């Protein structure tokens, strides 16, 4: 897989919040067709990396390449147009809009001819959203809102889907469903996924490759299976190594 050019290449990226350094020279590659997981403790800098890839905050040093093109200083809306979609932490859907309206918003940059076919596919993946298409987003359950956030991102027909903690606060069964959809999208549609997760066990099982972030640095990388076997990973991220 790795002889090809990465779809996303993060090189020595540094990000600051004022004087606080959040990313200290991060290197990450995501190849076409891969699911790559980033794990790390609270405050490690995972969300900051996702946001930096999307252009806000901007990297103060280093480079972000997407499909070979330097997007380090590209505004967020331009980055979205290029085929990167983000489902941010906290399921930021539009609460007053219906499920259908949220999905229409997601598709706003896509040619209208694709809408019906894309919607059909989304409703196959998330039948719950079909049943609730006229319900307001804010009245959905936590799991349904997460599904809607992912579905809305998918309606933009991304080449690269960035998911920030899709399992956060959800019951195990819902987490399983969401991870199965991600796997299906990757296997069937070839979607490339970069996933941030605290749920390290499931995320590394799902991923082709993974990275571990500690205090704004990448400290380990490998295949999902390799990382799951590493004692340091098990001790720090797998609930005391019980898995």
Ligand X SMILES: Nc1ncnc2c1ncn2[C@@H]1O[C@H](COP(=O)(O)OP(=O)(O)OP(=O)(O)O)[C@@H](O)[C@H]1O
Give the residue from 27, 36, 47 showing the smallest Cα distance to 195: 36
Contact region with ligand X (CB under 6 A), list: 14-22, 69-77, 127-135, 200-208? 14-22
- Interactions with ligand X, residue window 43-62 (CB under 6 A): 43-48
Give the strand pairing for 84-87 and 160-164.
parallel
151, 94 Cβ separation under 8 angstroms: no
Kindly tell me which residue out of 40, 55, 166, 210 binds ligand X, with binding defined by CB under 6 A: 40
Residue 168's region, left for phi above 0, alpha for psi from -120 to 50, else beta, is beta
Classify residue 69 as exposed, middle or buried by CB count within 10 Å of its CB (0-12, 13-18, 19+): exposed
Q: How far is the CB of 167 from ligand X (least distance, A)?
A: 12
37 or 102: CB nearest ligand X = 37
45 or 143: CB nearest ligand X = 45
Q: How far is the CB of 42 from ligand X (least distance, A)?
A: 3
Classify residue 241 as exposed, middle or buried by CB count within 10 Å of its CB (0-12, 13-18, 19+): exposed
Kindly tell me which residue out of 198, 220, 222, 226 binds ligand X, with binding defined by CB under 6 A: 198
22 or 119: CB nearest ligand X = 22
Kindly state whether residue 173 participates in binding ligand X, applying the rule CB under 6 A: no
The widest CA-to-CA distance across the chain, in whole angstroms, is: 51
Q: Which residues bind ligand X (CB under 6 A)?
A: 17, 20, 22, 40, 42-48, 89, 198
């Amino acid at each position: 897989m790795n002889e090809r050019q990465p779809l996303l290449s993060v090189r020595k990226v540094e990000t600051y919040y004022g004087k606080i350094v959040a990313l200290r020279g991060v290197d990450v590659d995501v190849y076409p067709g891969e699911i790559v997981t980033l794990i790390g403790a609270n405050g490690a800098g995972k969300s900051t990396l996702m946001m930096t890839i999307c252009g806000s905050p901007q990297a103060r040093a280093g480079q972000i390449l997407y499909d070979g093109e330097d997007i380090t200083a590209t505004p967020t809306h331009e980055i979205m147009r290029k085929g990167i979609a983000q489902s941010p932490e906290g399921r930021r859907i539009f609460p007053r809009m219906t499920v259908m309206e949220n999905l229409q918003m997601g598709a706003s940059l896509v040619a209208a001819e694709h809408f019906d076919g894309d919607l059909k596919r989304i409703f196959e993946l998330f039948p719950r959203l079909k049943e609730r298409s006229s319900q307001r987003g804010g009245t959905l359950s936590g799991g349904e809102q997460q599904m809607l956030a992912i579905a809305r991102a998918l309606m933009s027909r991304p080449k690269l889907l960035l998911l920030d903690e899709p399992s956060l606060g959800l019951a195990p069964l819902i987490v399983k469903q969401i991870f199965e959809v991600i796997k299906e999208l990757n296997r069937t549609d070839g979607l490339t996924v970069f996933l941030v997760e605290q749920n390290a066990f499931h995320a590394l099982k799902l991923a082709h490759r993974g990275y571990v972030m500690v205090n704004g640095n990448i400290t380990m990388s490998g295949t999902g299976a390799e990382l799951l076997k590493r004692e340091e990973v098990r001790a720090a991220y797998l609930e005391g190594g019980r898995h």
